[in-house]
């Protein structure tokens, strides 16, 4: 199993450009989420999903869109990038229900720089 795969690993954007960070998991996890990691701020939840067709906002959703059309994929879209979105982005997935609820499997991260 590949686990959680994020692409791209690195990206540089200009202010106002749009892009999509891809996330795929092959563990048949119901739950998927996106976090951003900033120095001194820790991990902050952007959006999450508990199944195909179901998404919800986290702590810092502004400027980001998500969709969940399949169990495997959970892309994160930046419609008009801003320098404040310069960060490292992590996708994570996990099971919902049962004893393993709350155990998240993380991708390697995507480092985004917005100029």
Partner 1 sequence: AQRVTQPEKLLSVFKGAPVELKCNYSYSGSPELFWYVQYSRQRLQLLLRHISRESIKGFTADLNKGETSFHLKKPFAQEEDSAMYYCALREDSGYALNFGKGTSLLVTP
Nearest CA to 51 out of 36, 72, 79 is that of 72
Is 48 in contact with 33 (CB distance < 8 Å)? yes
Query: Does 106 help bind partner 1 (rule: CB under 8 A)?
Result: yes
Pairing between β-strand 10-13 and β-strand 110-114 as defined by DSSP bridges = parallel
- Judged by CB under 8 A, the stretch of 7-15, 62-70, 77-85, 91-99 that binds partner 1 is 91-99
DSSP-derived secondary structure letter, 73? B
**Two structure tokens written together for 104:** 């998240």
Query: Does 79 help bind partner 1 (rule: CB under 8 A)?
Result: no
> Considering the complex, what minimum distance in angstroms separates the CB of residue 16 from partner 1?
30
Total interface residues for partner 1 by CB under 8 A: 27
Is 66 in contact with 47 (CB distance < 8 Å)? yes
Query: Does 33 help bind partner 1 (rule: CB under 8 A)?
Result: yes
Query: Does 72 help bind partner 1 (rule: CB under 8 A)?
Result: no
Output phi, psi for 84, to 5 deg: -65, -10
Query: Does 27 help bind partner 1 (rule: CB under 8 A)?
Result: no
What is the binding site for partner 1 (CB under 8 A)? 31, 33, 35, 40-45, 48, 50, 56, 58-59, 90, 92, 96, 99, 101-109
């Amino acid at each position: 199993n590949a686990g959680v795969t994020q692409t791209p690993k690195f990206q540089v954007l200009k202010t106002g450009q749009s892009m999509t960070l891809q996330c795929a998991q092959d563990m048949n996890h119901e739950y998927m989420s996106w976090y951003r990691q900033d120095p001194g701020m820790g991990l902050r939840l952007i959006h999450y999903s508990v199944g195909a067709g179901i998404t919800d906002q986290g702590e810092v959703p502004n400027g980001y869109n998500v969709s969940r059309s399949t169990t495997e994929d959970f892309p994160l879209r930046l419609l008009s990038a801003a320098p404040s979105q310069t960060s490292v982005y992590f996708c994570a997935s996990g099971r919902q229900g049962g004893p393993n609820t709350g155990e998240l499997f993380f991708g390697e991260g995507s480092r985004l720089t917005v100029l």
